[in-house]
Structure 1
Amino acid sequence: MTQSIVSHRGSDAVPATVLGQGPARIPTGGKIRAGTKTLSRTAAENPQARAIYEQGVAAGQSFDQIEQALVTALPRIKTPLVPKNVPWFTVRGQDFSNPEIAQQILRAFGEDRGDGHRLYRFPVVFPSDHWQVVMPHELAAWGASEKRYWSEYSPDGRVRHCKTHAPVPFDDSGKRVIRVFGGRKTVARDANGGICDPEACPEYQQRQCNLSGRFLFFIPGIRSISAFELHTRSFYAMNAAIQKFETIGFLRGGRISGFLDSQRTPFYLSKKLVEVAHIDEQGRPARVPQWIIELEAPVDVTALLRDRDDDEAALVQAQLATQILSGPTVLAAEGDRVAAPGEPQDSAAPTSAHAGPRPQARDGRPSLEDLLSRALACGIDRQRYTAYANLRWARLEDQPAGAGAGLG
């Protein structure tokens, strides 16, 4: 299975080993497909091809396995299978390291909408807070058995390069291949100076190089230490997902990993029928209906905003608890001495000559200055408490003295 790079939490350096020094990787143990494959028109006219296809589908084989069986049995059919856009996701046992997981997913989240028991919508949680990690993507051109060219960005993210595998090295005699440690090396492609420029790329113009991406996630309730992946080639699906990731990250302080709120709300992946615009072979704009992957975040946005307020409240309450538990006398600003817990209030009389009496409470409610004085007694400066109160309730500085009702 393929792997994806993820960032470490914390700043500890990764120790160097003989296998290299690099970030941690999350292995994937299964693949959910966005669509399905059916027999091409030529293959559908062949009775043997139809029999092989139906047997493979009934046995739960992957489409790669079915296609390989068709190519072996009918080598004259160059393209036996073609992709088909459908409103459900395809989950097959042979696409998982443990085939039983496919059945677990279908039993837990599958439903029958008239086309059999299918997977139309399912919950997911992402393992990283960086959308580039949970949705890696690239421009790639594939050959018969391997990836020929692919795009990579420079470390500063400014230049997109076109990469390829380095030639296999030979020894001085030119007859013996040199063993390469750590796998084949990669180099910049000679064409276009190693720059990925789709408009000047013959492979891209001939539709041999295409955008390819995948979502990496865990499914709540499905026990697996390995993540699952869902591939897509839809620019619209990936672009819409990026917008959702960035919005949720903004509301959650940069976090998109894990559940979205205290109610354990996950993301959901489903499919939506939309009209996709494209340019036809004659250069004219056209629109065609397609089922594309949709990332859902069914969460109450106001709850996410309230969670951020509660974080601020926790900071203030933690400081107050620390002052109460520690018990020492706290010196307030302007020379005022504030009594520690258990100390008589008389000893907290003002010691500076210019310190006047506190404003009296109105109707039993604390005044604004009284609130700020109490915050100061707990070691919280005026600006910090005012910023917290403005965020939690209303602007204190816009209220008249004595308007602090409900804040104490």
Structure 2
Amino acid sequence: MANAIVTVHGGPVAVPTLLGQGPTRISTGGKIRAGIKVLTKKATCEPKAMAIYEQGVAAGQSFEQIERAISEALPSLKTPLVPRNVPWFTVRAQDFPNPDLARQILDSYGEDRGEGRRLYRFPVVFPSDHWPSVMPHELAAWGAHEKHYWSQYSADGRVRHCMCHAPVPTDDTGRRTIRLFGGRKSVERADNSGLCEPERCREYQLRQCNLTGRFLFFIPGIRSISAFELHTNSFYAMQAAIQKFETVAFLRGGRISGFLDRQRTPFFLTKTLREVAHIDEQGRAVRVPQWIIDLEAPVDVTTLMRESEDAETALVQARLASQVLQGATEAAESSELPDEAQATGFANEAQTFRDDPPMREGRPSLEQLMGRVRAYGIEPELYRTYADRRWGRGWKINPHGRGRAWDELERYRHDPQGYLDKIERELQLAGAGRAE
């Protein structure tokens, strides 16, 4: 997906420019973390490490800052902190260019469940309909200061390559590096034929290369032109999120960006305690409880489906209004045609609607449906009277109603006269019933 063209909601498709040859990227302005870091057992035995850790936490420092301070004070502690899985998200001032944003997030959405004010659940809005853009992820092997190797799919999405930084080229003398435009280049890793195969990868088997991903989002009510990010290494969290994205996109005509419905319902990020399976060092399947990031879409599914229909209905109503405004002119122009020209026009129209398939899987427009009626030799007003009685007066602006009408027309495709007889007979019976 490295070369995918991304459309951010409400904006144009990204096009290549001098500084924009790659895909559109969403800038970020702060991190919300999935958990916390605590001192290792060895580090807890060092009073100085304990003091630095407690002071850093109280000051709202990031865990990277705290870990760096401990390592500088106690060089013997190479990894003084380890991650700990907790039911809340960590929001620290030092993780934001504008530290006040951390306070705003906690004030707006934090809860006190007995352990102080924490962020357990908060609303998010995604800025793009392209889910890999709002949840980018990869297999990556990191060194102390930079990424050594990472996965990247081919343009057709079929082959996963292992990438690395290209060596910095030198001039003809071999003593001076060539100045690069746009930073270091990426190339396929040579020693594994450029393929990313975790089961055969030395770094992956040594746990040096791991799955890493992040969610990119805005938070309603928190004013920031840059998105926020939440990192995760959980395969289960990302796989479940992809399923939610795809389900919502299917119901919303491909959209996951913005609010989910007219009630301005957002997605929510929270955590759920689940039994997670993994393979231990002895090859045994072990299940352990873990707090997993969970993406929620608390919306009435039928509402999303109705909104899709409402959009179609609005288009039909707009066309009907246009017909009302233009009807007198069109009728006058039609009446001036000689009989032969009108007959030719109806014949051409009949052929068009015989060959034209229904729009959107059996939900034709009203114009298309009435064209089929005229092609059958049925007077439109006669058909409307019949259809109003059969499906109710709202059938013409309801996609399902038009679909039912179209299906009935299809059943009589090879017997238009039989269908006209059916319409006249039912209207005669209806008239007799009223007379009685």
Q: TM-score, normalised by structure 1?
A: 0.83
Distance apart, 1:177 and its partner CA: 2.4
- Say which SS state the counterpart of residue 236 (structure 2) adopts: helix
Distance apart, 1:222 and its partner CA: 0.2
Q: Does 1:108 align with 2:96?
A: no
Distance apart, 1:7 and its partner CA: 2.7
Picking from 387, 392, 398, the partner of 1:368 is 387
The residue aligned with 1:157 is 157
User: CA separation in 2, counterparts of 1:356 and 1:173?
Assistant: 88
The question of whether the paired residues in 2 share the 8 Å contact of 1:149 and 1:163 is answered with: yes
Matches within 5 A, 1:45-84: 45-84=45-84
Q: Does 1:194 align with 2:194?
A: yes
User: CA separation in 1, counterparts of 2:301 and 2:405?
Assistant: 18
The residue aligned with 2:294 is 294
Distance apart, 1:115 and its partner CA: 1.1
User: CA separation in 1, counterparts of 2:241 and 2:285?
Assistant: 24
The question of whether the paired residues in 1 share the 8 Å contact of 2:27 and 2:227 is answered with: yes
Bigger Cα displacement from structure 2, 114-123 vs 4-13: 4-13
The question of whether the paired residues in 2 share the 8 Å contact of 1:359 and 1:369 is answered with: no
The question of whether the paired residues in 2 share the 8 Å contact of 1:214 and 1:230 is answered with: yes
Q: Does 1:141 align with 2:141?
A: yes
- Say which SS state the counterpart of residue 42 (structure 2) adopts: helix
The residue aligned with 1:275 is 275
User: CA separation in 2, counterparts of 1:10 and 1:392?
Assistant: 37
Structure 1: tracts of 5 or more residues without a match? 337-351, 376-381
Matches within 5 A, 1:168-183: 168-183=168-183
The question of whether the paired residues in 1 share the 8 Å contact of 2:7 and 2:13 is answered with: no
User: CA separation in 1, counterparts of 2:222 and 2:103?
Assistant: 10
- Say which SS state the counterpart of residue 26 (structure 1) adopts: coil
Q: Does 1:95 align with 2:114?
A: no
- Say which SS state the counterpart of residue 126 (structure 2) adopts: coil
The question of whether the paired residues in 1 share the 8 Å contact of 2:169 and 2:178 is answered with: yes
- Say which SS state the counterpart of residue 193 (structure 2) adopts: helix
The residue aligned with 1:310 is 310
Matches within 5 A, 1:321-336: 321-327=321-327, 328-330=329-331
Matched residues, number = 373
Cα distance change, pair 298–70 in 1 and its aligned pair in 2 (3 A): same
User: CA separation in 2, counterparts of 1:393 and 1:101?
Assistant: 56
Q: CA RMSD in A?
A: 3.3
Matches within 5 A, 1:214-233: 214-233=214-233
Distance apart, 1:139 and its partner CA: 0.2
Q: What do residues 40-60 of structure 1 show as CA deviations (whole Å, max 9, x unaligned)? A: 111111000000000100111
User: CA separation in 1, counterparts of 2:245 and 2:380?
Assistant: 53
The residue aligned with 1:14 is 15
The residue aligned with 1:345 is none
Q: What do residues 182-209 of structure 1 show as CA deviations (whole Å, max 9, x unaligned)? A: 1111111012200000000000001110
The residue aligned with 1:379 is none
Structure 2: tracts of 5 or more residues without a match? 336-341, 347-374, 412-421, 431-436
Distance apart, 1:391 and its partner CA: 5.3
Q: What do residues 60-109 of structure 1 show as CA deviations (whole Å, max 9, x unaligned)? A: 10001001101111110111000000000000000011000000000000
The question of whether the paired residues in 1 share the 8 Å contact of 2:313 and 2:399 is answered with: no
Cα distance change, pair 72–317 in 1 and its aligned pair in 2 (3 A): same
Identity fraction in percent: 65
Q: Specify the code of the residue in structure 2 equivalent to 1:260.
A: L
Cα distance change, pair 170–60 in 1 and its aligned pair in 2 (3 A): same
User: CA separation in 2, counterparts of 1:385 and 1:61?
Assistant: 59
The question of whether the paired residues in 1 share the 8 Å contact of 2:309 and 2:399 is answered with: no
Distance apart, 1:175 and its partner CA: 2.4
Cα distance change, pair 116–370 in 1 and its aligned pair in 2 (3 A): closer
Bigger Cα displacement from structure 2, 150-159 vs 310-319: 310-319
**Between structures 1 and 2, the one with greater helix share:** 2
Q: What do residues 248-278 of structure 1 show as CA deviations (whole Å, max 9, x unaligned)? A: 0000001000000000000000000000011
Q: Specify the code of the residue in structure 2 equivalent to 1:389.
A: G
Cα distance change, pair 267–257 in 1 and its aligned pair in 2 (3 A): same
The question of whether the paired residues in 1 share the 8 Å contact of 2:6 and 2:13 is answered with: no
Distance apart, 1:179 and its partner CA: 2.0
